[in-house]
Chains A and B, each alone.
Chain A
Amino acid sequence: MTDADTIEPRASASVPSAGSGAALSRIEPRASASVPSAGSGAALSRIERVFREEYGRAVAVLVRVLGEIDLAEEAVQDAFTEAVRRWPGTGLPPSPAGWIITTARNRAIDHLRREATREARHAQAALIHQPDGEPEEGPVRDDRLRLIFTCCHPALSPAAQVALTLRLLGGLTVPEIAHAFLVPETTMSQRLVRAKGKIRDARIPYRVPEEADLPDRVKAVLAVVYLIFTEGHTASSGDSLTREDLCAEAIRLGRLLADLMPDEPEVLGLLALMLLTEARRPARTGDNGDLVRLAEQDRGRWDRGLILEGQDLVRRCLRRDRPGPYQIQAAINAVHSDAPDTAATDWRQIVQLYDLQMALGPTPVVALHRAIAVAEVDGPARALALVDALDLPTYHVYHAARADLLRRLGRAGEAAQAYDKAISLTGNAAERVFLRRVRQGLPGLDTAP
């Protein structure tokens, strides 16, 4: 157990929003009493921004320098604690990241000397000591990329990959990650300890994979980031604050990846997909928290800034002409975001994009979404024939889509049965409420079988 793991979480009840205070409490929850109050609010929020932006960078550099994850985390945590104490009085240094990294490195050396009871420890302290004025910014970009590939190594379980990425690159605390994924803190803590132990003992390398392995390894990294995003977007329960935090964190990681690997079109595709999905968040839930379907959303509430950014990324992908699943899903979302309403949506183009996705990697889920788009072009009867040919008996979206098509064809009895099936299969409370509401609106249900 390191100090970093035992730092108190932010008390979720006392922090009303994901805004100021959240990141700082990751550093030093009891600091507020000891920090000078006069004019320190702005300084604290600047420190908080530095924490969010630079935590992963600092850990990545320190892991390379120290060759050990726990020690690196502890040192960076110490450096931020020192910053919270010092910066409100002195103001931020010219290069906050450089200051954090240098301070963390010096702390780590001090720590190793203090703990040095064996000769080997002395040797390690000597090894990592670098002369003053050593440039800190040089290999930093690569360090973060190294850390990402280590966290998302395929020899680690997907759950461990997600936890490590959020902890080491995002700087989220163990309780925060546990809360977001609805597992007990001890479980999450054990998961992280076990994963870090495996990285250390099995020698999972700290490097960017070789060219030949890169496509598969990038795919694994993108899967982790998208898993974080979808968990935030459609979490089955948990409070909405945590969910939004996860989406924001996934987008932050997506931006980092796009910055580090600008020539990988799928990296840009994933970022575009997340931005275009996130843009609809304000319209996705009604006043009482109910789910609002795409067709009924108030598109005036969509975030135009995110849409423009996402569409721009989609255009950049199109120019590269190396399509992949994330790019195609982003393009589909870009088509939706162009239209003022469902009727004006270019459904033909959406069907074509699904055709492309089926050509790259046919799956029943993609075929289902293609069929839903076909309903808008060729009518619900054609779409129902396509849906009925699919084998997705335990997927709630399959039954919900079937129910909707049956409803539109006036087959209320069969629609009700399909809605019941969908309701029983979905784990999402808002979706259940929505499906019940539509089911109750079916005409002539009393005559249904």
Chain B
Amino acid sequence: MTQYLLSVFQPDGEPPAPEILDPIIRGVEALNRDMREAGVWVFAGGLCAPSTATVLRAKDSDVLMTDGPFVEGKEHLGGFTIIEAPDLDAALAWGRRMAQVITLPIEVRPFKEGYGPE
């Protein structure tokens, strides 16, 4: 079994209005339930806006701190799900459902063997 990170990339700016967002959230909840029932679900979470991020850099004996995200762009990592699947085809099948539910691009990426969550 391999663990896969399914990342959600969302555009910067205000989130969509509740009438758009609410059905998406319900869809994500249903998908997480299905993933748990199928025994593939490992972890899932949504992140606050990139403006809430802080970047730390070790410099000599000090650690420098900067306000904001490490990468500034038009899109940011909005949330992610970690699943465990026998191969890429199985992981892609879950990723496909996630893309349809969330309507945003989903990146599917394997964890290094032995370096995923317990």
Contacts and interface: CB of A to CB of B under 8 A. Distances in A.
A203 B87 contact: yes
A134 B109 CA distance: 38
A205 B112 contact: no
Contacts of A209: 89
A210 to B, nearest CB: 9
Interface centre among A153, A155, A203, A205 (most CB of B within 10 A): A203
Contacts of A213: 89
A155 B112 CA distance: 18
Contacts of B110: 201-203
Interface range, A side: under 10
B35 interface: no
A152 B79 CA distance: 31
B57 to A, nearest CB: 28
Interface string A191-210: 00000000001111100010
Contacts of A202: 2, 4, 88, 91, 108-110
Interface in A167-220: 201-205, 209, 213
A307 B40 CA distance: 53
A213 B87 CA distance: 15
B92 interface: yes
A203 B83 CA distance: 14
Contacts of B86: 203
Interface in B3-20: 4
B41 to A, nearest CB: 18
A155 B92 CA distance: 9
Contacts of A155: 88, 92
Contacts of B112: 201
Nearest to A204: B88
Contacts of A205: 87-89
19 contacts: A155-B88, A155-B92, A201-B110, A201-B112, A202-B4, A202-B88, A202-B91, A202-B110, A203-B86, A203-B88, A203-B110, A204-B87, A204-B88, A204-B89, A205-B87, A205-B88, A205-B89, A209-B89, A213-B89
Interface of A: 153, 155, 201-205, 209, 213
Going nearest first, the 3 A-B pairs with the smallest beta carbon separation are: A205-B87, A203-B87, A202-B110
Given A203-B86, A209-B89, A213-B89, 14 more contacts: A153-B88, A201-B110, A201-B112, A202-B4, A202-B88, A202-B91, A202-B108, A202-B109, A203-B87, A203-B88, A203-B110, A204-B89, A205-B87, A205-B88
